Amino acid sequence: MPINRTESTSVDVPRGLAGVVVTDTELGDVRGLEGFYHYRQYSAVELAQTRGFEDVWHLLAHGELPDATQRAGFMERTAALRGLPEDVRGALPAIAAATGLSGPLAGLRTALSLLGASLGFRPVYDIDAERRRDDGLAAAAAVPTLLTALYRIGQGLEPVEPREDLGYAANYLYMLTGSEPDVHRARAVEQYLISTIDHGFNASTFTARVIASTGADVAACLVGAVGALSGPLHGGAPSRALDTLDAIGAPDRIDGWIRERVLAGDRIMGFGHPVYRTEDPRSRMLRGIAEEFGGPLVDFAVEVEHRVEGILAELKPGRELHTNVEFYAGVVMELCGLPREMFTPTFAAARVVGWSANILEQAEDSKIIRPAARYVGPVPPVAVPMPA
């Protein structure tokens, strides 16, 4: 009988599955038309403004914001998980050397696989919810240690051991730079980290959930998520947004540079988002943090933002394009002393908490994620039954 080209794919879907609902979640949502997103029932921006990183981590891992006693216990527990097994630590120089110019994010994929094996992670299909949560906490707590160690080794520096007396963000900066950060910069980075913990079914989160649906272990799910995040259209844009500011160079070059790119149809890194049709609330918050620091870089970034929006309104009427999280994230991280090659890894140090929560939620559903594709190639010959 002839092949029915539409028998399993009769429903048309938009490119990139834009707007297609694939599952239910209790972890949060992005309301793009409103310019709002939330973690569970709480505004993510308000959490970033009023809470610490571990509070929000507890919210996603345990379903509630902690009281003072719970916070202290959770901080103590996760801080104790920051250290690396000796076999993982010993392998980091080879991983850093092998990844070379690809950087710490590429090295993280290998290091996470090794960490999961060293800690005895088992398929989520074979373990209970408590063990899955333990594995998720262990992996997430170790990611900043892995990233900063890989970076420092690549720079010819000794890794810095984690400190259990510092919060997640302050410890991350300490391990990265070797110096205890001042409170202002540590808090700015913490607010950035909180604002990027989770953000709906983005490419990396969906990847993690697809892998989790197969029953694979937590480390395998996270490795896939890191691979997705490394793409410049997903998490790889913060440093590129600063590269845009560098390319413009001076205020009197803004209009000419932007007009040339807009008329050529080029993408302006740091602007636009696949979900938001208003200003990205993360960008708005980070702009406020940047303006608290002040200085020429901030003034220039704000002027570029205003001119891009103005020129677009003139040349592309009706098309709204606002800064996304990467634009001011790059500015804030630059002001806090992070090297540009660590911008996307820093994003991963936050998003690993959201990935882990999504992995745990997906593991509760035993149905594997297995969509179909519509075949559009040359028509094959009529199927002939094979002889018995």
From the candidates 58, 199, 234, 273, which is the catalytic residue?
Answer: 273
Binning the chain into helix, strand and coil, the percentages to the nearest 5 are 60, 5, 35
Task: Return d(Cα 86, Cα 119) in angstroms, integer.
Answer: 11
Question: Is-contact 215 364, C-beta < 8 A?
Answer: no
Residue 291 CB-half CA count within 13 A: 8
Instruction: Identify the active-site residue in 54, 190, 305, 326.
Output: 326
- Are 354 and 198 within 8 A, CB to CB? yes
Cβ–Cβ under 8 Å, residues 338 and 346? yes
Q: Contact at 8 Å (CB) between 203 and 101?
A: no
Catalytic (active site) residue 326? yes
User: Is residue 62 annotated as part of the catalytic site, yes or no?
Assistant: no
In the block, residue with structure tokens 């199927």: 383
Contacts (Cβ under 8 Å, ≥6 apart) of 57: 74, 78, 140, 168, 197, 353
Q: For 122-196, where are the E strands, in sequence order?
A: none
**DSSP letter for each residue of 173-221:** HHHHHSSPPPHHHHHHHHHHHHHTS--SS-HHHHHHHHHHHTT--HHHH
Which tokens belong to 379? 């028509």
Catalytic residue IDs: 273, 326
